[in-house]
Amino acid sequence: MQTRHGVCAVVPAYNAANSIGNVISQLYRAGIRSYVVVANGCIDSTVFTAHTKLSALLARHRVVEFPTALGPDVPRAVGAFTALREFRDSTHLLFVDGDWQGGFGPMLSDWLEPALRGRCEVQYTGWRNEIAMESRPESLKKPARLDEQIWTAALQREFPDLQWACPSAVPLLVQRQTFEKVSAFWMYQPGMWFAKTLCATRGYPKTVAVNGDWNAVLTGNPSRSAQHMRKMEETLLGDALEGVRLLQGKKPSRKWRGILQDGYHSERRVDVLKAWQASLRVDFGRI
């Protein structure tokens, strides 16, 4: 596989000591040579394992550690700001998760290729993936989540090529220049960053694309408690509601049928993110 010197991987990790080494190895297989790992309130050896693995590979890297968890997606924004500051020669940022398992490197390399070869600035994966669905047992062939349904309904008319986009999912590949249009700050709320990116690139077809050739089943499915899954679904629903309303020119709201969909949203440490951004003096892009 070819080396992709212009791509910097951003890897949020929460107690990922058992998986972060494999994630780095698979990214390396996909040709990635620059890394930002954001240790998000870890109480295990994630930081040590990441440092050791990246040093052994002689890879350019920065491991950022926060003793207290920042909430979902805030580490993604922190990592983006860090990568933009530390690796100024990077042309693209690649966002993945630190808890992935399995040998996903070749699949990731194939997934990256269309965006790196073409002209799109942002490449998402899609929730509707026939290949992935066919590989799942019947018990796992569930209908789309409500947040996915809301995005599809909102995108069908104006952005039909993006109707299967899943703004909350990774992998996500973003050209550096995109952050000159939409601040990396908004990555703390994936629905808002997606909506703001679409608003900023209206009139420029194919700037944002969906590549459904990604099978998340092959990256494992770490078990989570039922309570956690419910709160995450509520978080994703609220994120979608805010993003869709912004896209439609309305005031963002997280209410669905009169009920606030907060989930983990109120636990997102936006204050820490703002302080981190200020400390790095990354000032391009709109907030």
The proportion of the chain whose per-residue pLDDT surpasses 70, expressed as a percent, equals 92
97-109: average pLDDT:
96
Choose the weakest-confidence range: 118-127, 133-142, 210-219. Answer: 133-142
Task: Give me the pLDDT at residue 129, please.
Answer: 55
Q: What is the pLDDT of residues 19-44, one digit of tens each?
A: 999 999 999 999 999 999 999 999 99
Structure tokens at 35: 């890394």
Task: Give me the pLDDT at residue 142, please.
Answer: 58
Show the CA angle centred on residue 236, arms to residues 250 and 278, nearest 5°: 75
Number of Cβ within 10 Å of residue 140's Cβ equals 11
Q: What is the 3-state secondary structure (H, E, C) of 117-144?
A: HCCCCEEECECCCHHHHHHCCHHHCCCC
Domain 4-145+152-221+269-280 has CATH 3.90.550.10: yes
213-236: average pLDDT:
90
Choose the weakest-confidence range: 56-70, 81-95, 221-235, 250-264. Answer: 221-235
Structure tokens at 91: 């042309």
Q: What is the pLDDT of residues 230-249, one digit of tens each?
A: 999 999 999 999 999 999 99
92-102: average pLDDT:
97
Confidence check: pLDDT of 8 > 70: yes
Average pLDDT over the chain, rounded to an integer: 91
* Structural domain boundaries in the chain: 4-145+152-221+269-280
Contact between 263 and 239 under an 8 Å Cβ cutoff? The reply is no
Confidence check: pLDDT of 199 > 80: yes
Phi, psi of 30 (to 5 degrees): -80, 0
pTM: 0.93
